[in-house]
Chains A and B, each alone.
Chain A
Amino acid sequence: MKYNILNTHTHNIDGIAKVTGRAQYTFDITRPGMLYGKILRSPHPHAKIKNIDYSKALALSGVKAVVTGKDTLGVKQGIWRRYSELCDEQILPLEKVRYIGEPVAAVAAITEEIAEAALDLIEVDYEVLPAVYDAMEGIKKDAPMIHEGVERNINVTRHIEWGDVEEAFENSDYIREDWFKCSGQAHMCMETRCAVAEYTPEGKLTVWTSTQAPYYMQALLAGVLGMKESDIRVISHYTGGGFGGKFELDGAQFCSSVLSMKLFKPVKIVYTREEDLIATKCRTPMYYYVRTGVKKNGKFMAREARVFTEGGAYTSMGATALYLTGFFHSFPYKWEGYRYDGYRVYTNTIPATSMRGFGAPQATFCSETQIDLIAKELGIDRFEIRRMNGHTPNYEVPGQATIASCGLEQCINKIEDWVKSRGKLPANRGIGISSYGFMSGGIFNWFDTPYSFSSAVITVNCDGKVDLHVGAQDIGQGSNTTLAMICAEELGVRVEDIRVHSGDTAECPPDLGAWGSRQTLMAGNATKMAAAEVKRQLLEFAAAKMGVNIVYDLDIKDRWVHSLARPERGLDYFEVVKAALRGKEGQRLMGRGFYTPHRKGMISPAYSYGVQALEIDVDPETGKISLINCVTAHDCGQPINPLGLQGQLEGAISMAAGYGFLEDLPMEDGKILNPNLVDYKLIRAPEMPETEVMEVETYEPEGPFGAKEAGEGLTNPTAAALSTALYDALGVTVKQLPITPEKVLNALREKEKEGK
């Protein structure tokens, strides 16, 4: 489909603010009379808090207050609000600490230096308890109990099953088992966690914070502070990255709020990079056991997976990650019988939560690595085996979900053509491929919101300019621009006619926020609905003015209100706006839109698909991997913002490839060993490969103009493509992430030994 605005080269609407240094992030916010806060953190992975004596800290000149759990309501909060047993976290704990780095007390002072110095004067009396750091240790009978009453530290379990798995295995000609270990990963947002909280005598709290979901912050703060949601205003006009780590309540927001409520002064807390690496939540590490049965022609029959995830000290978003990893481990293929059992285990380590991909990068790594091994053993072409088993449009994942649009086969074909075009590769080079599928937003209402999942309000002013208010949050993925484009396309105006309001709960309608790949589809649908309503009102006046025959339809394109049958006949949009304003007694046109998925199962309203090829160079002497080329064929339904899409693809590759071979959070006795950007290795400009994206356009009936998600699903395949590329290059497989040079060399040595 060709559209006026959709899928055209459009400047990001926040561009000028960002390239001229005008964009004000929470990091930049200052308020009159503002104090600076710092957090005292536990040095122990597991300990009872016997006593906290902060008298000396309070006596330090410039210190205004010190707070501990005793200054709070002691509410155990969690983002899975519907399930009280999963609300297990007091951000300032009252009884015990469960990970190194957990907040224990917070100080507010007139300067950051004084607040920092005050931390050293707080005396905490701990009773150190035995701790456990590994999921497989934490679940043992004699492991220390981390949360009262939670036996074996089993936090959550999930089970997904369809078909007769035994029968499917019995009907298989070839069965294979593999064991994998997937690592954690830090979100590493360029803007660390931060908040400025300001409580005033009217009993109102304003919190500026770097977040993916202002509405969630508002609701969660209300819960822990004993306030009404509407008395809390959360502002986040510019957010310096999120990636899944910034939609739960964190120490910066909570501690600054508690301090401000005590002092009636604004308090600012900004995490150092070290704090951001040790004391914010990370991607969930997982142990994966996969058993797969196929027919000798390559048809997938049965798969069973048993997964233990290392949950860290609290539930966070771990329950969702546990489910999604099991669900997407079956993607994007059809299975006669599938069974997944997942167990999330508490450990005395940094809590594990959502991170771009949400359990799917781990699932895809394990699945695709094994599929290549199966294909090799059976002598089947790796594209053919994926094609014959891939999802197809309108497929029902038995009892789980109905796939509507699905461009997987076209993606496989495009990547196959590209790989063929590369011809014979030089020595030590390999191309790996990986397919994936992902959700476009989740359906299950674990937050227990009474609001529509997404909402939009549109107002048209007398000069024809449009104010679009959305709760969707732009965290860099470009949702402000995407929604402006959808609005402009539907309403028939230009992107520059739209002013987007977002990131302020006082000005914008509630929206679940930027996570789970939901905004293009859900907030997009809400925006389109609101725009359609405004257009309908405008066309009423246009029809009256133009007097066209009742059988003819009117439309608006590029500020031209016209008859579809005779587009040269029409009126200027601005004229119609003025007429409508007068006709409505001087009241501006307004449209409301909203969207909550209905009758689409319990997982997601739509699924995106793709296939990625990654060409690498491996040095067999050092085991070092270099990324050469990355080509992705991708189905996001109808692309909306191509400039944004390219950026999201490239960003996803850098994050996902980093997950595959560079990034790691090694720990010793619960202490992260590399909490700084020298030792935590990330992809930098010289390591990034050339990238290419090939769009496969499909039409998703549930999405606005047929659109589905893009930015998160693209994070799923790269670690898998890296591992299959290694196999293609040197015939070895590493089943533990990250694939470091050491592991590559070990695998080569093993292979040599076996050869002898």
Chain B
Amino acid sequence: MKYKCPVCGKMAKTGTAVDCARHMFGTGDKAHRAWFEAQGLSYIDLLLSQTSEPGNKAYITVAELLEKSEAAQADK
């Protein structure tokens, strides 16, 4: 299963949900942040956790949501 960004359509080489999550985090612009809010997540809180604790919990949380999201499924 490959995943693309539900906001801008970009897909990582690996196509994994975690790498898609990284991209969304990194871009961090209004549109991408709005997606986080729409999922009931706080961009800042996720960023906080990413910056302060090793383990990439934030990316994994987002990746799990992407796996469930229709918009994130890349065309096969």
Q: Do chains A and B touch in the complex (CB under 8 A)?
A: yes
Footprint of B on A, CB under 8 Å? 136, 139-141, 152, 154, 159, 165-167, 169-171, 177, 179, 287-289, 304, 306-308, 339, 341, 343
Given A141-B42, A166-B22, A341-B28: A287 touches B14 (CB 8 Å cut-off): no
CA gap between A177 and B59 in the complex, in Å = 13
Q: Is B39 part of the binding interface, using a Cβ–Cβ cutoff of 8 Å?
A: no
Kindly state whether residue B10 has any CB partner on chain A within 8 Å: yes
Which residue on A lies nearest to B28, using beta carbons? A341
Q: Is the CB of A152 within 8 A of B44?
A: yes
Q: Is the CB of B44 within 8 A of A177?
A: no
Does B50 make an interface contact (CB < 8 A)? yes
B28 shortest CB reach to chain A, Å: 6
12 pairs across A/B with beta carbons < 8 Å? A139-B48, A140-B45, A141-B42, A152-B44, A166-B12, A166-B22, A169-B22, A170-B12, A170-B13, A177-B54, A179-B54, A287-B51
CB distance from B56 to the nearest CB of A (A): 8
B48 contacts A308, CB within 8 Å?
yes
Of B12, B26, B28, chain A has the most CB atoms within 10 Å of the CB of B26
Is the beta-carbon distance between A136 and B48 smaller than 8 angstroms?
Answer: yes
A17 to B13, CA, bound (A): 67
Which residue of A159, A167, A171, A288 is within 8 Å of B28 (Cβ)? A159
1/0 per position for B19-42, CB-CB distance to A under 8 A?
A: 100110010100000000000001
Given contacts A136-B52, A166-B19, 15 further A-B contacts (CB under 8 A): A140-B45, A140-B48, A166-B22, A167-B13, A169-B22, A170-B12, A170-B19, A171-B13, A177-B54, A177-B56, A289-B51, A289-B52, A306-B50, A306-B51, A308-B48
Say yes or no for B47: interface residue by CB 8 A criterion.
yes
Q: Tell me, rounded to whole Å, the shortest Cβ–Cβ distance linking A601 to chain B.
A: 23
Give every chain B residue within 8 A of A139 (Cβ-Cβ). 44, 48
Please indicate which of the listed interface residues B10, B12, B42, B51 has the most CB atoms of chain A within 10 Å of its own CB.
Answer: B51
The verdict on A308 contacting B51 (CB below 8 Å), with A170-B12, A170-B13, A170-B14 known, is yes
With A152-B44, A166-B26 as given contacts, are A179 and B52 in contact (CB-CB < 8 Å)? yes
CB distance from A165 to the nearest CB of B (A): 6
Residues of chain B contacted by A165 (CB below 8 angstroms): 26
**B47: shortest Cβ distance to chain A, in Å?**
6
How many residues does chain B have at the interface if contact means C-beta atoms less than 8 Å apart?
A: 20
A396 to B37, CA, bound (A): 37
Chain A residues with CB below 8 A from B45, complex form:
140-141
Q: Are A307 and B51 interface neighbours, CB within 8 A? A: yes
Name the residue on A nearest B29 (C-beta). Answer: A159
| Contacts from B to A (Cβ < 8 Å) | 10, 12-14, 19, 22-23, 26, 28, 42, 44-45, 47-48, 50-54, 56
- Residues on the B chain within 8 Å of A308, using CB: 48, 51-52
From residue B3, how far is it (CB to closest CB) to chain A in Å? 13
A141 to B42, CA, bound (A): 9
Residues in chain A near residue B22, CB distance under 8 A = 166, 169
Q: Which residues of B contact A177 (CB under 8 A)?
A: 54, 56
Q: Which of A140, A141, A166, A341 contacts B10 (CB 8 A)?
A: A166
Distance of A139 Cα from B14 Cα, bound (Å): 33
In the assembled complex, the Cα of A713 lies from the Cα of B24 at a distance in Å of 35
Q: How far is the CB of B49 from chain A (nearest CB, A)?
A: 9
**Chain B residues positioned under 8 Å from A289 (CB to CB):** 50-52
Roughly how many angstroms separate A169 CA and B10 CA in the complex, as a whole number?
14
Q: How far is the CB of A302 from chain B (nearest CB, A)?
A: 10
Question: Do A179 and B48 touch across chains, with their CB atoms under 8 A apart?
Answer: no
Name B5's closest neighbour in chain A (CB-CB).
A166
The smallest beta-carbon distance between B17 and chain A, in angstroms, is 14
Instruction: Report B70 CB to chain A, min CB distance, Å.
Output: 22
**Cβ-closest chain B residue relative to A305:** B51
Residues of A contacting B23 with CB < 8 Å?
Answer: 166
In the complex, chain A residues whose CB is within 8 Å of the CB of B47: 306, 341, 343
Residue of B nearest to A170 (CB): B13
Whether the Cβ atoms of B12 and A179 lie closer than 8 Å is no
Q: How far is the CA of A4 from the CA of B23 in the complex (A)?
A: 57
Interface centre among A152, A166, A170, A304, by most chain B C-beta atoms within 10 angstroms, is A166
The CA of A366 and the CA of B47, in the complex, are separated in Å by 18
- Which of chain B's residues has its CB closest to A308's CB? B51
Nearest-CB residue, chain A, relative to B56: A177
9 tightest CB-CB pairs across the interface, nearest first? A170-B13, A289-B51, A306-B51, A136-B52, A166-B23, A287-B51, A179-B54, A308-B51, A339-B26
Judge whether B52 and A287 touch: CB under 8 Å: yes
Inter-chain contact B26/A304, CB cutoff 8 Å: yes
Is B26 within 8 A of A179, CB to CB? no
Q: Within 8 Å CB of B28, what residues of A?
A: 159, 341
Complex: A167 Cα to B14 Cα, angstroms: 11
Alpha-carbon distance between A139 and B53 when the two chains are bound, in angstroms: 15
Q: Which residue of B lies closest to A159 (CB)?
A: B28
Question: Which B residues touch A141, using CB under 8 A?
Answer: 42, 45
Contacts of A166 in B (CB 8 A): 10, 12, 19, 22-23, 26
Q: How far is the CA of A616 from the CA of B28 in the complex (A)?
A: 42
Output the least CB separation between A132 and chain B (Å).
13
Contacts of B10 in A (CB 8 A): 166
Query: What is the chain B residue whose CB lies nearest that of A287?
Result: B51
Chain B residues with CB under 8 Å of A288's CB are 51
Residue ID in chain A nearest B10 by CB atoms:
A166
* A726 CB to nearest B CB, Å: 20
A627 CB to closest chain B CB, in angstroms? 30
Chain B residues near A159 (CB, 8 Å)? 28
Q: Which residues on A sit within 8 Å (CB–CB) of B48?
A: 136, 139-140, 308
Which residues of the partner chain A approach B50 to less than 8 Å between Cβ atoms?
289, 306
Return chain B residues, CB-CB under 8 Å to A171: 13
- When distances are taken between beta carbons in the complex, the residues of chain B under 8 Å from A154 are 44
